[in-house]
Amino acid sequence: MASNIPNDNLTLPAKWRGLAPVLVATGVICVLVSLGLCYFAGSADDRTAGVRVFFHSYLANYVYCLSICLGALFFVMVQHLARAGWSASIRRIAELFAYTLPWWALLFLPILVMVLFTNTGVLYPWNVGPGQGLEPIVESKLSYLQPSWFTLRVVIYFAVWIIAARLYFRMSRQQDDSGDTEITLKLQRWSGPFIIMYALSLNFGAFDIMMSTDPAWFSTIYGVYLFAASMLSFFAALILTCYMLQKSGRIEKLVTTEHYQDMSKFQFGFIVFWGYIAFSQFLLYWYGNIPEETLWYKHRMEHGWQYVGLLLIACHFVIPFLGTMSRHVRRNRSAMAFWAVFILCVHWLDLMFLIMPHETIPVSLMMIVAHLVCWVGMVTLFLAFFLTRVGETPVVAVKDPWLPDALAYQVGP
């Protein structure tokens, strides 16, 4: 079987890998610059306002990268769960994305430290210590939203994600040497339990990390919303990575047009799924029209955020929906690379829309610049993590028993 595998170039250029330290430095500097911009853009009377903006910006851009990795982790597990053959040649890239999760755990530390050791409530308004005259609805949630219990939960979420990501990467890597098919069977067996734990941790993680920035508000579909956005951005990142690798002369024969079409179909599907979930959440709250539920949307319908909302409807749903509908577009690598970049941009807008709008957070040009700089910083860090993770690792699982299937795979008309 192995003889059927075309002899592709599977390792990254050494030049790229050398960039990693530079990228880490650039990323950290960008994040710090963003902190400075936020600090001085806030009013001089109330310096915590700037810090508040920075932490929101940090969280949004942090989740931007984290969501791609979480999407990758789910993709790896669900391919094993479904015993999918077609994806064998692109799964390694997803495994590598997911395996950057330990570093993302590290980058959550600033927020965790802030929650544990301060009680200013700059990011999570519930984190102000007891008896601070919170609204009754928030007060009643304080037994759950409590710094130590919050920390414990976050540790559990990251533990689940990191253990899964590590298992799937390490085992797949072992198979590169041994070609042992038992490994595939073992990973298949583990995928079910891990997906259940993943679903729970992603949902509650979304509630804790993101939704509790507005603790009075609640939406049971919030975790699913983040999941939809994660999968969508992951497929965009996957398409873009494949495209870049092929541009640089890697995996030219192992990833075929058929794979592009299927990755694009998944991306298309999750564009629709995102629209469905986002609209479902809105429709129910709009219909019910209950103040405690609609307040979240009210924040998003003033101070210019209403245009961001309309932009999301257009750019996160309608335009890419129509744009990637055609088979001819999906089989065109350059076109799909464009749409992948497009999706990755609107994904940022989506996270900004989820986390930033709040009455205590002003909107100014300086702030927008700060968010963009923070975004650049996080993405640079993401690139650095990815390149470090890849190292000498081949970007395709060369001895995966499904690989011949993946190469012979055809989508059909």
Partner 1 sequence: MSEHKAKKQPAEPKSFGWMAEYEDENQLLDASRKVRDSGYTRTDAFTPFPVHGIDEALGIKPTVLPWFTLCAGATGTTVALLMQWYLNAVDYPYIISGKPFASWPAFIPVTFELTVLFGAFTTVFAMLGLNGLPRFSNPVFTNPKFDRATDDRFFLWVDSRDKYFNSDKVKHLLQESGAIDVEEVREDDSPTQVPRFILTTILTLILITLIPGAIVLNMRNSKSGSSRWQVFFDMDFQPKRKTQTRTTLFADGRVQRPPVPGTIAVGELELSDPYYLGYDPDQVAANELPIASGDSRLVSFQEDDGQEADAADQGDGQPASAQDESEGAEDQPAAAQPDAAQPDAMAAGEPNYAWLTELPEEANEELFQLGKQEFEQNCAVCHGFGGYGDGLVSQRALNLNQGYWLQPTSLHDDRIQKQPVGRIYYTITNGKGKMGGYAASLKPKERWAVVLYVRALQRSQNAKAEDVPEGTQLEAAAP
Instruction: Give the burial string for 247-273 (b: 16+ CB within 10 Å, else e).
Output: eeebbeebbbebbbbbbbebbbebbeb
Q: Does 286 bind partner 1 (CB under 8 A)?
A: yes
Query: Do 123 and 356 contact (CB within 8 A), yes or no?
Result: no
Q: Does 40 bind partner 1 (CB under 8 A)?
A: no
Q: Does 117 bind partner 1 (CB under 8 A)?
A: no
Instruction: Tell me, residue by residue from 349 to 388, as one string, x for binding to partner 1 by CB under 8 A and - for no binding.
Output: ----------------------------------------
217 vs 409, beta carbon nearer partner 1: 409
131 vs 413, beta carbon nearer partner 1: 413
CB of 283 to partner 1, least distance (A): 5
CB of 377 to partner 1, least distance (A): 37
Please identify which residue in 282, 321, 338, 342 interacts with partner 1, judged by CB under 8 A: 282
Residues 296-335 that bind partner 1 (CB under 8 A): 325-327
Binding part of the chain for partner 1, among 67-75, 183-191, 192-200, 286-294 by CB under 8 A, reads 286-294
Q: CA–CA separation, 35 vs 54, rounded Å?
A: 6
313 vs 376, beta carbon nearer partner 1: 313
Q: Does 413 bind partner 1 (CB under 8 A)?
A: yes
Closest of 261, 279, 255, 384 to residue 328, by C-alpha: 261
Please identify which residue in 3, 148, 289, 334 interacts with partner 1, judged by CB under 8 A: 289
Q: Does 149 bind partner 1 (CB under 8 A)?
A: no
Please identify which residue in 82, 283, 314, 341 interacts with partner 1, judged by CB under 8 A: 283
25 vs 408, beta carbon nearer partner 1: 408
Q: Does 410 bind partner 1 (CB under 8 A)?
A: yes
Residues 390-409 that bind partner 1 (CB under 8 A): 408
Query: Six-digit token pair at 118?
Result: 């301060």
Please identify which residue in 2, 287, 304, 392 interacts with partner 1, judged by CB under 8 A: 287
Q: Does 279 bind partner 1 (CB under 8 A)?
A: yes
204 vs 321, beta carbon nearer partner 1: 321
289 vs 334, beta carbon nearer partner 1: 289
117 vs 287, beta carbon nearer partner 1: 287
CB of 282 to partner 1, least distance (A): 7
Q: How many residues form the binding site for partner 1 (CB under 8 A)? A: 13
Query: Six-digit token pair at 103?
Result: 């570093």
Binding part of the chain for partner 1, among 202-210, 246-254, 278-286, 366-374 by CB under 8 A, reads 278-286
CB of 301 to partner 1, least distance (A): 13
86 vs 104, beta carbon nearer partner 1: 86
- The binding site for partner 1 (CB under 8 A) comprises 279, 282-283, 286-287, 289, 325-327, 408, 410, 412-413
